[in-house]
Structure formats: structure tokens, C-alpha cells
Amino acid sequence: MAQLTDVHFVDGVRTPFGRASDKGMYANTRADDLIVKALIGLMERNGNVPADRIDDVAIAATSQTGDQGLTLGRTAAILAGLPQTVPGLAIERMCAGAMTAVTTMGASVGVGMYDLAIAGGVEHMGRHPIGSNVDPNPRFVAERLVDPEALNMGVTAERLHDRFPHLTKERADRFGMLSQQKVQAAYEAGHVQPDLVPVAIAGADGAYGLATEDEGRRPETTMADLAGLKTPFRPHGRVTAGTSSPLTDGATVSMLAGSDAVKEFGLEPKMRMVSFAYSGVQPEVMGIGPIPSTEKALAKAGLSIDDIGLFELNEAFAVQVLSFLDHFGIEDDDPRVNPWGGAIAVGHPLAASGVRLMIQLAAQFAERPDVRYGLTAMCVGLGQGGSVIWENPHYTGKKAKRK
């Protein structure tokens, strides 16, 4: 008889993230090949897990068409060499696709239906731009259910600046600059590279290469550079390319397990799922979505925001993260927040990003036995937020010695 069990994040890997353009490093790479490469890398890193014991594979994508369609979880599993007895499915919750894949598979593990599951996401925004091949129902506009501008994420970010005028452009610029600097520092310290799966790529000239690092980083960014950027979403606005996540291609994937499977295969979990929640907000200000979802997740866990020792917040836009921090009384430069930088620097391949947050948090947990709980959270298009609270299995209450 199935029994309730803890849900463990065993491991996670991702491809390097590339610029979404015809000159980006993945311009000639299929979307499904990106997730397959990540899945192969995950299974190779966890060779003690028999592939035929995987109960399900959930892979998310926002634009499920072309090489990003056809029930990605199933096709990716077959292409990655998993036994054909392993089923799979596709999930779509826009930016929170991979996060939803994790919580959906995690819930199945938690109630004892699954022992082991794979969850991840992929987005090739170069091949499948956001909103392409979408036909919104005319009722949205005719019945004034949603302002048409709510479909433009940059406009929703500008509206956060309108709603919270104390979240100035200068504060957003500084946050964006620090994200670039923190990602570069993490690379130089070797924090990021261990969880990247290299991807063979082909250039337009037929030359082959290997993608080993995130392509869009700009560590040389200064406040002066940011002050001079155009505001594409509104004349004389406050949101710029320097305070927004760039259009990105990439894939992420993770392995989840119940307690019995952890014991059976001698696994060493990197995190334990404590709680999760999703919330809806006005689509016109979708960036505040993680605020109510985090409040719900904290309530379900019986915790307060003060119990969270590390925050991995998706940087869709700097002002979106600042609105979250402002609500919870956290300083803009609090060292608990995105200590290794975030999406403004490395990119945001929509449905893949949730697992990137988890991979990064898990790596930080290993270095921070003084931190017991961490949060991964993100806003979601059309007015949603998603949050997952994790517990550190390395927690001792004592500070780690810095290397």
C-alpha cells in the first residue's frame, strides 16, 4: 500500500544558456535535442539509478509546437535512451513550467505513487518566440477581462514602477548590474560549471563547437552603461535591456525521489521539498505574483519569511524582484538573495528557469550548513506566481568555513 513520504531533490543539471537569435549558439540546434542532452547528462551523473525504475518524465515548454512539441516528456525519454516502459508528459505554465513539472512530480512522489521521477523544461526562444502561433480569445479584450498590454511582459514591469514609484530606475539598474557581477564571480569561483552539461553545436558556416558556458553574460556592465539604455516598452520608461532577462535558449532537468528510493539506491539528496504554492494576480502586474504564492507556501510550511536563509528569485525584471523584496522588508542587496546572480545575466529560457533556480539553491545549500530553509520563486505570465520552499539536508546550524 502506498504511503506518504518525503520528496527529495536528488540532482539537477542544465545546458549552458544561449542567446535567442539567429546568431546565438543554439541557432542550429533543435529544442528537443537540448532537453535530451540535459537528460542524458542527468542519468550519467546518477548511474546507480536504474533507468527502468523512473516512474515518469515531465518536461515543460511554453510554446509547444514544432521541435518543442509532441509530448516532450515522452519523446525526450525515448531519444535519451530510457526504456520504452518509462512514460512521459508535457507541462505548460509559461515561466513556471519546469517548477510546475517539479511540484507535480513531487506531489506524485509524496503520496507514494512514484518512487523516482524526472522533471524539467526547455525553451528555444530563437525558434519559438514567446507568443508565436498564439490566438488569444477575443473575449479577453471585448469583455475587458485583460488589458491587451498585459500580454507584453515588459509593459507589466513598467506598471510595477508606476505602482511602486519608490522602486526607482536607479535601484533597478543597480540590481541589474549586481546580477552581472555576481554571476561572473560565481563563474570565477567555479560554482556554476559543475552543473552544466556541454552541448555540441554547429555554426552557420558548418563549423562545430562546444557550448560550455552561458552566452549572454555582460560582467563589464556599469551604472553609466545602464543609464544610457533605451526603454523599449514605453517612451521615457524605466525598464531596459539591462534590467530585464534576455531572450534565451536552454534546458534544465532534475531527479526527484521518495525516501525508500533514496535508501534503496544509496542516493544523497541535495534538498527536501517542504511546501509549494501557486497564486493568481492581475495580469497587468504579473510581477507581484511571487508575493502571494510565497505567503501561501510559508503558511503551508508553518514558517515565516525570517526562516528563509537563501532566496533564488527569478529575475524576469529587476523591478519584479525589488517589489518582492520590498514587500517582505528585505534590502535590495541582501546577501541571502541570488548570491550567484540570476536571469538578468544568465538568461531566462521561460519554461526551463524554475529548475535552474533549484540547481543553484542546491549547490549553495552544500556550502551553507548554517542555512536550513531556502526559497525558489518566480512570476508567471498572465498574472501568476510560483514558490517552493526547500530544506537543506546539510543543515547543522553552524557556519561553514569559507574556502
Whether 128 is a known active-site residue: answer: no
Considering 95, 128, 161, 191, which one is annotated as catalytic?
Answer: 95
Contact call for residues 121 and 39 (beta carbons, < 8 A)? no
Considering 191, 236, 348, 394, which one is annotated as catalytic?
Answer: 348
CA dist list (Å): 230 to 141, 172, 175, 217, 242: 29, 14, 17, 19, 9
Determine the Cα angle at 389 with ends 7 and 194, to 5°. 75
Pairing of strands 373-380, 384-391: antiparallel
Whether 8 is a known active-site residue: answer: no
Contact call for residues 51 and 86 (beta carbons, < 8 A)? yes
Q: Which H/E stretch holds residue 322?
A: helix 318-327
Pairing of strands 248-258, 271-280: unpaired
345: nearest Cα among 219, 256, 224: 219
Whether 379 is a known active-site residue: answer: yes
Considering 124, 128, 191, 379, which one is annotated as catalytic?
Answer: 379
Cell representation of residue 351: 519554461
323: nearest Cα among 187, 185, 175: 175
Alpha-carbon span 272 to 270, nearest angstrom: 7
15: nearest Cα among 88, 103, 134, 121: 121
Contacts of 18 (CB under 8 A, 6+ apart): 24, 25, 26, 126, 211, 214, 215, 216, 248, 249, 250, 347
Query: Which residues belong to the active site?
Result: 95, 348, 379
